[in-house]
Structure 1
Amino acid sequence: MNLDKVFYQNFMKNLFADPCEVRYWDGNVVNYGEGEAQFRIGFNEPIGKKEIISDLSLAFGEGYMQKKIDIEGSVQKVIESIYRKQDSPLNQKNPYVKWAKILSNNIIKSKENIQYHYDIGNDFYRLWLDETMTYSCAYFKSPEDTLTQAQINKVDHILGKLNLQPGQTLLDIGCGWGELILTAAKNYQVKALGITLSSEQYTRVLERIQNEGLQDLVEVQLMDYREIKDRNYDRVVSVGMIEHVGKEHLEEYFSTVKNLLSEGGVSLLHCITGYEESAINSWFNKYIFPGGYIPAVQELVSLMASNRFYLIDLESLREHYTRTLEHWAQNFEKSLPIIQKMKDETFIRMWRLYLNSCAAAFHCGNIDLHQFLFTKGVNNSWPLTREYLYP
């Protein structure tokens, strides 16, 4: 392979905001930046210049997965250093970074995409999620909160925002392992339906409903939200699901929610957001979330308005997601002895990179997490202040 050493030197020199040490495949060690190295990068073998130029995120992501690259130090801090370097070759404006093609997520494709990520196995997720098996941003009332407590806080925060009343009906689009619908039934005496495209999640939720004797109040279905017919709900909630909808189907999502909500009904959307419209990068699309798309805040607000929804509350939980991901990454590393018996080294490195790069992206503000609360039409009976949220 014809390697351009000058290209590599210039490339690495501009990559990080912090001083670092780079060991090249020929044993040569170079320090970049002034001061003591904050981390060390090791190239066990070169990645071709053509691969880097054609798709940087894929080249480096696969390079780490395949042990062409090693990182000594915090993976999260390394990625944060890249994000904080404004002119880094890996920042979002660079032409080297390729974004995934936006494809249509029809019902069949959506099911395939969800099963790719969520049907890895409940035993795997149980190792590093919290006791409630909640796989979305937690809510830390205190820095000392455990992950389990923060996830309980999050569910309580969402259900409180919805101002649920006994006897109401609730639909959870993308219900995960069921914590929200089960809590809603037990604490608020509402009738709840959860839907998911993951067979692993569906099986677990069904077990929980039966084990807790909630068959009269809680139902779960293995189906796409677009397949629900002739039913209306007082409340519709969706947590961490719309990121899988895809840009082409955002309008379809909101029009479907409008049809499912009763007049004056309330919906809460909890989702990852961007400040610009952007697909996910090609590495994430190939290995983590096929068909994923992070909508922009203004994109979502515009779609709410065009569907005659009234936005009544908007809250950012960005740093809550940073903390959540850091907990997940720590739990993942603590569970490595068990995970190594279940998955190969390529998978482990892929998952480590995924969790740490997401934590870095939230902490640096590349992406955000918002909760949108909106009503179908005018709802003049809604509480005048937020005091109802904090009794």
Structure 2
Amino acid sequence: MWTKILDVFVTHLFRKGDFSLTYPDGTTRRYGNGGTPSAAITLHDPALPRKIIMSPELAVGEAYMDGTLTIVDDDLRSFLTLAVSNMAAQGKPWFHRPLDIYRQLSRYINQFNPAKRARANVAHHYDLSGELYDLFLDEDRQYSCAYFARPDMTLEQAQAAKKRHIADKLLLKPGMRVLDIGCGWGGMALTLARDYGAEVVGVTLSKEQHALASRRAAEAGLSDKVKFHLMDYRSVTGTFDRIVSVGMFEHVGVPHYREYFRTVHDLLAEDGVALIHTIGQTDEPGATNPWILKYIFPGGYCPSLSEATRAIEVNALHTCDIEVWRLHYAETLRHWYDRFMANIDRVRELYDDRFCRMWRYYLIACEATFRHNSQVVFQFQLSRQQDAVPLTRDYLYSEDAAKELRHAAE
């Protein structure tokens, strides 16, 4: 029975490209219009048809990790490109709607992130071996979307351009007090202090990130200008001229959106400016991929534009600018994947084959989602006063700013 239902599901889904599926009983069937890309997989576990029907994303990801689903030539990129692009075009069949409704209803439980749970969620991903991140990130350990102002930029150049673009939007002046919410390994905070003369307070819930960021500040001679704290953003007190948050809002959770922006409002000076950089989706509100939720980012969620702006507008914050980055993260992830694969033998020494398959799946699946589905990056520029920033974007693209961007790309 489950094999027949899976056949209906796959027939509905794979209408473009060339997809070959070998079932656990040895039967092979082909789907699609015979175009590109093409992929061929084999299911080795008789329980997989039922598992895939019940939760396709979770079951397929787990089966690849465990080796009960194999791909011809291990061509994971072609398979995920085929799957994601077809799912974006067709959506799931009607009989899968009750499961999607359940996921929608349960997302508030999955995304309920009080301080203690938020700390555990952060540790799950960011307190892995520090060496792991050195194997695929840029030298500054920027673990967020880079800004490819030119398509031929290296990863280091594009990450430097990202920091420059954000700093320009913050309209920094020497001596300004800046709060970095979710400061990671400290790269953004150190850049704002070193290059712009800001005094920065960075907060993170990751012990590994806090230790390395503090060490980097000391080694750079910036300990007097940059302070990193192991604490929840909701516990921060004081007033800041600028607030920046890069790649952290994805971990807040919908139940806490109003609380987050209320905190931003309360900590921001009357004439202050905040820049919130987050992954988002151009589609309507949804639920996090269950495989990502279980194995990569527990408690995580990428908001629709309407979800974020609804929380902003009820907290007396003016939305001065919203910028949407399309495909920049797909290119970033491609760079990360190439570096990861170049160092995969070392990753295997740190962990094991299953971990390597999990991270290959994670990096390629995310790239495919940014490249072929509705995933983007939003940058919200916020203030408490309407005139806190210039009335046009000209200040971002002046000759001086263009020179600085070129310099960052060199």
TM range (shorter): over 0.9
- Aligned to 1:356, which of 354, 364, 370? 364
* 2-structure distance, mates of 1:372, 1:48: 42
* Secondary structure, aligned partner of 1:35: coil
| Cα-to-partner distance string for 1:44-99 (whole Å, 9 max, x where unaligned) | 333344323332222212111111112236434422322332335489x7545563
Quick check: 1:263 aligned with 2:270? yes
Give the alignment of 1:16-35 within 5 angstroms: 16=14, 17-35=16-34
Q: What's the offset of the Cα at 1:191?
A: 0.3
Give identity over the alignment, percent: 39
* 1-structure distance, mates of 2:377, 2:160: 18
Quick check: 1:81 aligned with 2:82? yes
* Corresponding residue of 1:12: 10
Query: Structure 1 length as normaliser, TM-score?
Result: 0.93
**Residues 67 and 15 from structure 1, CA distance in 2 versus in 1: closer, same or farther, beyond 3 angstroms?**
farther
- Aligned to 1:110, which of 94, 99, 118? 118
* Secondary structure, aligned partner of 1:278: coil
Quick check: 1:128–1:332 contact (8 Å CA) kept in 2?
Answer: yes
- Aligned to 1:239, which of 224, 233, 246? 246
- Per mean C-alpha deviation after superposition, the further-off stretch among 21-30 and 105-114 is 21-30
- Per mean C-alpha deviation after superposition, the further-off stretch among 97-106 and 207-216 is 97-106
* 2-structure distance, mates of 1:20, 1:316: 33
Q: What's the offset of the Cα at 1:329?
A: 1.4
Quick check: 1:196–1:222 contact (8 Å CA) kept in 2?
Answer: yes
Quick check: 1:321–1:369 contact (8 Å CA) kept in 2?
Answer: yes
- Aligned to 2:309, which of 295, 301, 304? 301
Quick check: 1:90–1:96 contact (8 Å CA) kept in 2?
Answer: no
* 2-structure distance, mates of 1:387, 1:81: 41
| Cα-to-partner distance string for 1:92-137 (whole Å, 9 max, x where unaligned) | x754556363232111000000011100121111101111111000
Q: What's the offset of the Cα at 1:381?
A: 5.1
Letter in 2 for 1:243: E
Letter in 1 for 2:58: L
**Residues 81 and 90 from structure 1, CA distance in 2 versus in 1: closer, same or farther, beyond 3 angstroms?**
farther
Give the alignment of 1:1-391 within 5 angstroms: 4-16=2-14, 17-35=16-34, 38-72=38-72, 74-85=75-86, 86-89=89-92, 94-96=97-99, 99=103, 101-103=107-109, 104-229=112-237, 231-274=238-281, 275-378=283-386, 380=387, 382-390=389-397, 391=400
* 2-structure distance, mates of 1:302, 1:265: 21
- Per mean C-alpha deviation after superposition, the further-off stretch among 309-318 and 167-176 is 309-318
Q: What's the offset of the Cα at 1:300?
A: 1.4
* Secondary structure, aligned partner of 1:186: helix
Letter in 2 for 1:32: Y
| Cα-to-partner distance string for 1:130-182 (whole Å, 9 max, x where unaligned) | 11111000000111111111111101110111110111111100011111111
* 2-structure distance, mates of 1:117, 1:142: 31
* 2-structure distance, mates of 1:381, 1:288: 38
- Per mean C-alpha deviation after superposition, the further-off stretch among 42-51 and 262-271 is 42-51
Q: What's the offset of the Cα at 1:336?
A: 0.9
* 2-structure distance, mates of 1:366, 1:185: 35
Stretches (4+) displaced over 4 A: 93-98
Letter in 2 for 1:19: D
RMSD: 2.1
Q: What's the offset of the Cα at 1:389?
A: 1.4
Letter in 1 for 2:256: H
Q: What's the offset of the Cα at 1:355?
A: 1.1
**Residues 94 and 332 from structure 1, CA distance in 2 versus in 1: closer, same or farther, beyond 3 angstroms?**
farther
**Residues 26 and 35 from structure 1, CA distance in 2 versus in 1: closer, same or farther, beyond 3 angstroms?**
same
Quick check: 1:56–1:96 contact (8 Å CA) kept in 2?
Answer: no
Quick check: 2:76–2:361 contact (8 Å CA) kept in 1?
Answer: yes
* 2-structure distance, mates of 1:65, 1:370: 31
Quick check: 1:47–1:68 contact (8 Å CA) kept in 2?
Answer: no
| Cα-to-partner distance string for 1:208-258 (whole Å, 9 max, x where unaligned) | 1010100121110011001112x1000001111011111111110001111
Give the number of the structure whose residues are more often helix, by fraction: 2
**Residues 138 and 252 from structure 1, CA distance in 2 versus in 1: closer, same or farther, beyond 3 angstroms?**
same
Query: Structure 2 length as normaliser, TM-score?
Result: 0.89
**Residues 31 and 56 from structure 1, CA distance in 2 versus in 1: closer, same or farther, beyond 3 angstroms?**
closer
* Secondary structure, aligned partner of 1:39: strand
* 1-structure distance, mates of 2:99, 2:78: 22
* 1-structure distance, mates of 2:324, 2:285: 18
**Residues 317 and 77 from structure 1, CA distance in 2 versus in 1: closer, same or farther, beyond 3 angstroms?**
farther
Work out the number of aligned pairs and report it.
Answer: 387
* Secondary structure, aligned partner of 1:102: helix
* 2-structure distance, mates of 1:383, 1:354: 40
* 2-structure distance, mates of 1:30, 1:49: 14
